[in-house]
């Protein structure tokens, strides 16, 4: 990668963020639902493009439910804060995110502008309030997405899933739409763009803007219904479906389905 190109992308993205903060705070709230969804998808794509990140959708097109119907509960593996924009570029959804993100400079304001539901993991009782917000949003026809791993991974594995938030599907009757995300460099899966450990957000962004032919692939996996299952059963099914989609070991039982995408993963720099 030409580091001059990376520096240009980094500066362009930094300059775009304050503009996005204004859009999220002043424009989004004034728009009707259809226009709001269109703008969220548009600006998600623009932000990723400013960092030199391409997008690919694998599988069936993601579609909104018909008016009056319950929304979708989406879930996917978690590699970076960029996951949010990658999914929103295809289907505008309300994200469930850790409360710390709401306090981040600039990005926190954007997260609030796109109706993020914040969860305080230190407050055990707070989970009930989060579930109520998720259930209400789903019944209003909004899509809600969360990361059942609860934290980021390098993207070359699936971490054990937590079952608590699956209760929102049980309570609302929402269908579950699993997704898996792959970050690629020159067409091969890479861990270079992952936001893990004690890495600073600026170091992660530098890795992103200096990655050659960077792209995020969003794979749409088979949707399934609650169908009388409890949250633990839903969690186990999601773990199986997502691990098969990634071609990695299922952390729920240790089985694996090797696929080219997992075998060809390049380590991050």
Q: Which domain holds residue 123?
A: 3-263
Q: Which two tokens stand for residue 12?
A: 């362009």
**What would the mean pLDDT of 153-166 be, rounded to a whole number?**
95
Domain presence at residue 268: no
The pTM (predicted TM-score) of the whole model is 0.89
Domain presence at residue 88: yes
Domain count, the chain: 1
Is residue 144 helix, strand or coil? strand
Q: 46-97, pLDDT tens digit by residue?
A: 999 999 999 999 999 999 999 899 999 999 999 998 999 999 999 999 999 8
Does 9 have pLDDT greater than 60?
yes
DSSP assignment of 67-133 equals: TTS---EEEE----TTHHHHHHTTS--EEEEEGGGGGSTTHHHHHHHTT-EEE-TT-TTHHHHHHHH
Q: Which two tokens stand for residue 21?
A: 């903060």
Residue 99 or residue 139, greater confidence: 139
CATH classification of the domain holding 220: 3.40.1130
**What would the mean pLDDT of 166-179 be, rounded to a whole number?**
97
Please report which confidence band the pLDDT of residue 254 belongs to, taking 50, 70 and 90 as the band edges.
low
How far is 114 from 95, CA to CA, in rounded Å?
A: 8
Nearest to 42 by CA among 81, 77, 90: 90
Please report which confidence band the pLDDT of residue 255 belongs to, taking 50, 70 and 90 as the band edges.
low
Nearest to 16 by CA among 55, 44, 36, 56: 44
**What would the mean pLDDT of 6-35 be, rounded to a whole number?**
90
Q: Which pLDDT value is given to residue 1?
A: 59
Domain presence at residue 229: yes
């Amino acid at each position: 990668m030409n580091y001059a190109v990376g520096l240009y992308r980094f500066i362009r993205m930094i300059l775009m963020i304050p503009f996005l903060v204004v859009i999220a705070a002043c424009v989004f709230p004034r728009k009707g639902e259809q226009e709001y969804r269109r703008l969220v998808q548009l600006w998600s794509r623009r932000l990723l493009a400013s960092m030199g990140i391409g997008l690919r959708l694998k599988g069936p097109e993601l579609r909104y439910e018909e008016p009056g119907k319950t929304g979708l509960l989406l879930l996917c593996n978690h590699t970076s804060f960029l996951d949010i924009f990658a999914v929103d570029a295809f289907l505008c959804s309300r994200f469930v995110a850790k409360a710390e993100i709401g306090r981040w400079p600039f990005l926190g304001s954007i997260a609030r502008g796109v109706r993020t539901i914040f969860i305080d993991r230190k407050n055990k009782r707070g989970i009930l309030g989060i579930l109520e917000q998720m259930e209400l949003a789903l019944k209003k026809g909004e899509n809600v997405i969360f990361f059942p791993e609860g934290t980021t991974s390098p993207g070359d594995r699936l971490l054990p899933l937590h079952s608590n938030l699956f209760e929102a599907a049980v309570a609302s009757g929402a269908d579950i739409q699993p997704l898996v995300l792959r970050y690629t460099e020159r067409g091969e899966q890479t861990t270079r763009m992952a936001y893990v450990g004690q890495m600073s957000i600026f170091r992660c962004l530098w890795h992103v803007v200096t990655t050659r032919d960077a792209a995020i692939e969003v794979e749409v996996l088979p949707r399934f219904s609650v169908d009388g299952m409890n949250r633990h059963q839903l969690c186990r099914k999601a773990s199986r479906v997502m691990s098969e989609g990634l071609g990695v070991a299922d952390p729920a039982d240790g089985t694996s389905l090797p696929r080219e995408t997992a075998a060809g993963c390049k380590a991050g720099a």
